[in-house]
């Protein structure tokens, strides 16, 4: 189902045994906050991360041009106004180093590092039914005994690799964008190839094109893309945003995708053609994802509306490049705007007007194999390269957990369960896996359809409340029942049924990973509605769960 290799950990030498109340997998945005919250709640907690530093996504994705496309004033923590006041964002859409610095700043400010074990991979987690505790084995030879196991392992954290035969034969350098080296890569005078034109590929292409001798972009699906309107923040901008701390926090939690915008323009059908045009133009000029998830909600579930908005975006994209041959290659026509994740770009389309950049249509002639001197496509051509960059994406939402042997009650293996069907309860727990809590997991908005910090913080808070409830009642364990899980899966599917996202092949539906069960990964009812469901469960004292 994924390209990760599970290891047999039964024969692994165990050097040390530690006991904790909770183990957190991952020290990115979610893991850092979960560590902070559980420590505040008085628990003995350990976070484990494979990296040498904190940051998760922002630690691993240090490829050229990596930049967030949620505005910094929503891509942040909301638990401390003092923290918010102590940090100054330099711009609206900061580059990777700044977001990584922010997360390091948070880790230092709250002294989180002392409870994080870096350079360590979790290999297996086994629920001991007699003790009602998790036994976590790491590649550093330790066994950790903990009551609670919390995955903050990230949704876009397991890169899709080994997709092409012959990669090991290539005599140049190969990089996956999500495993980019810390040292700068020298592209000077090099013939560089980039496979993939998602949000990552776009950023790489537009950034390195001026540095390389030649750039060959291997494209299977052309993306819709909106020109990013980045902006350096002045002291005045920052001061203004800081006074809006509580307002913006509330907006993010009450919106459809966790931003400070929402579908505030009414129904597309009720608007006049002129009103619609004005709204779309205004949001296009905003240069953010508001055109996608802050314009008209019907974009997501009404084919006729989606068709019209897609035509608007196509026209805008075409105006940028003008050349009919390039328009044919770069402007999508085979799926609707917003049904796959929309990237923001900075001169991406115009990059193809450069004489040193060429596009190769790998839908027409797929990549057959990597050869010693480049990439061979099905039309028999060899595209000669010195450097090959794989911007091929991730085994989203499930990949990080299916590469660990996670065994719940009755020896049930999560990887096996999810190889049949992706099922969770509220995207937070799984039947047969007591005391295992998930963030950004399938069937929650955070799996794919959310400004990540918004959903991660909400889920961390829900998990913390649940754990505190169990601790206060001196309870051993909590687990969703099968009925409860069936109900959530049915509700999720009902929400997904009307969504155009579910009908389009992309990582949103697992369509990018061979053999992965196909289901819309993210809950499509909205961040706001999802939060109400979760809050209701907590308010009822987790009544439907099996609690021992």
> In this complex, which beta carbon is closest to ligand NAP, that of residue 514 or of residue 538?
514
Smallest separation, CB 500 to ligand NAP (Å): 16
Smallest separation, CB 507 to ligand NAP (Å): 4
Smallest separation, CB 195 to ligand NAP (Å): 5
CA–CA separation, 230 and 49 (whole Å): 32
- Looking at the DSSP assignment, which residues form a beta bridge with residue 25? 48, 151
> In this complex, which beta carbon is closest to ligand NAP, that of residue 69 or of residue 417?
69
Pairing of strands 122-128, 133-138: antiparallel
Chain residue at closest Cβ approach to ligand NAP: 198
- Reading the block at residue 517, the tokens are 């069960």
CA–CA separation, 437 and 230 (whole Å): 36
Smallest separation, CB 59 to ligand NAP (Å): 14
Pairing of strands 16-25, 142-151: parallel
Which residues have C-beta within 8 Å of that of residue 548, sequence separation ≥ 6?
132, 434, 475, 476, 477
Smallest separation, CB 472 to ligand NAP (Å): 38
> In this complex, which beta carbon is closest to ligand NAP, that of residue 203 or of residue 295?
203
Smallest separation, CB 65 to ligand NAP (Å): 9
> In this complex, which beta carbon is closest to ligand NAP, that of residue 434 or of residue 445?
445
> In this complex, which beta carbon is closest to ligand NAP, that of residue 198 or of residue 446?
198
Which residues have C-beta within 8 Å of that of residue 174, sequence separation ≥ 6?
167, 370, 387, 388, 389, 390
The alpha carbon dihedral of 445, 448, 454, 460 has a sign of positive
> In this complex, which beta carbon is closest to ligand NAP, that of residue 27 or of residue 391?
391
- Reading the block at residue 8, the tokens are 């047999």
Nearest to 47 by CA among 450, 442, 439: 439
> In this complex, which beta carbon is closest to ligand NAP, that of residue 131 or of residue 518?
518
Strands (E), 403-508: 405-407, 436-438, 478-479
> In this complex, which beta carbon is closest to ligand NAP, that of residue 36 or of residue 507?
507
> In this complex, which beta carbon is closest to ligand NAP, that of residue 67 or of residue 147?
67
Smallest separation, CB 392 to ligand NAP (Å): 4
Contact 449, 522 (CB under 8 A): yes
Smallest separation, CB 164 to ligand NAP (Å): 7
Burial of 269 (0-12, 13-18, 19+ CB in 10 A): exposed
> In this complex, which beta carbon is closest to ligand NAP, that of residue 256 or of residue 488?
256
Q: Dmax over Cα atoms in the chain, in whole Å?
A: 70
Smallest separation, CB 124 to ligand NAP (Å): 28
Smallest separation, CB 104 to ligand NAP (Å): 19
Nearest to 157 by CA among 340, 445, 391, 394: 394
Interface with ligand NAP (CB under 6 A): 67-69, 156, 160, 163, 195-201, 203, 220-221, 341, 362, 367, 391-394, 507, 512
Burial of 121 (0-12, 13-18, 19+ CB in 10 A): middle
Sheet holding 374-377, edge to edge: 367-371, 374-377, 382-384
Contact 402, 200 (CB under 8 A): no
């Amino acid at each position: 189902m994924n390209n990760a290799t599970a290891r047999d950990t039964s024969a692994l030498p165990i050097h040390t045994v530690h006991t904790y109340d909770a183990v957190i997998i991952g020290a990115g945005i979610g893991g850092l906050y979960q560590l902070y919250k559980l420590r505040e709640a008085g628990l003995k907690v350990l976070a484990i991360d494979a990296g040498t530093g904190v940051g998760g996504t922002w630690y691993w994705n240090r490829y050229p041009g990596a930049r967030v496309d949620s505005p910094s004033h929503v891509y942040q923590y909301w638990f401390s106004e003092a923290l918010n006041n102590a940090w100054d964002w330099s711009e609206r859409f900061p580059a990777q180093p700044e977001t990584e610095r922010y997360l390091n700043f948070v880790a230092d400010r709250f002294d989180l590092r002392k409870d994080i074990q870096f350079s360590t991979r979790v290999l297996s987690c086994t629920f001991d039914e007699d003790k009602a505790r998790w036994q976590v084995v790491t590649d550093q030879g330790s066994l950790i005994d903990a009551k609670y196991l919390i995955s903050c392992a990230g949704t876009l954290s397991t890169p899709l690799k080994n997709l092409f035969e012959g990669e090991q034969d290539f005599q140049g350098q190969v990089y996956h964008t999500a495993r980019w080296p810390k040292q700068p890569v020298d592209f000077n005078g090099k013939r560089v190839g980039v496979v993939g034109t998602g949000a990552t590929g776009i950023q790489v292409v537009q950034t390195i094109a001026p540095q390389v001798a030649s750039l060959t972009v291997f494209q299977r699906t052309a993306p819709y893309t909106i020109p990013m309107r980045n902006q350096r923040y002045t002291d005045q901008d920052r001061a203004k945003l800081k006074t809006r701390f509580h307002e913006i926090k509330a907006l993010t939690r009450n919106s459809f995708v966790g931003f400070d915008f929402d579908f505030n323009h009414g129904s597309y059908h009720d608007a006049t053609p002129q009103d619609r045009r004005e709204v779309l133009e205004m949001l296009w000029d905003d240069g953010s994802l508001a055109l996608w998830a802050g314009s008209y909600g019907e974009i997501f579930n009404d084919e006729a509306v989606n068709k019209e908005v897609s035509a608007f975006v196509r026209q805008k994209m075409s105006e940028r490049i003008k050349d009919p041959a390039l328009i044919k290659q770069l402007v999508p026509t085979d799926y609707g705007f917003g049904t796959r994740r929309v990237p923001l770009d900075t001169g991406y389309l115009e990059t193809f007007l450069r004489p040193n950049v060429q596009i190769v249509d790998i839908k027409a002639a797929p990549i057959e194999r990597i050869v010693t001197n480049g990439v061979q496509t099905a039309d028999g051509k060899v595209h000669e390269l010195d450097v090959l960059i794989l911007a091929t994406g991730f085994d989203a939402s499930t990949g990080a957990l299916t590469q660990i042997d996670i065994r719940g009650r009755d020896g049930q293996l999560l990887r096996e369960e999810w190889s049949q069907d992706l099922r969770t309860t509220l995207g937070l727990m799984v039947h047969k896996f007591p005391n295992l809590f998930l963030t950004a997991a399938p069937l929650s908005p955070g799996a794919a359809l959310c400004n990540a910090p918004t959903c991660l913080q909400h889920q961390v808070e829900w998990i913390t409340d649940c754990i505190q409830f169990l601790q206060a009642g001196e309870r051993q364990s909590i687990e969703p029942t099968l009925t409860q899980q069936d109900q959530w899966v049915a509700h999720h599917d009902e929400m997904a049924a009307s969504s155009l996202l579910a009908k389009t092949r992309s990582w949103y539906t697992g369509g990018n990973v061979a053999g992965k069960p196909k289901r819309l990964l993210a809950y499509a009812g909205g961040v706001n509605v999802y939060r109400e469901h979760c809050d209701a469960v907590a308010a009822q004292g987790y009544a439907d769960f099996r609690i021992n």
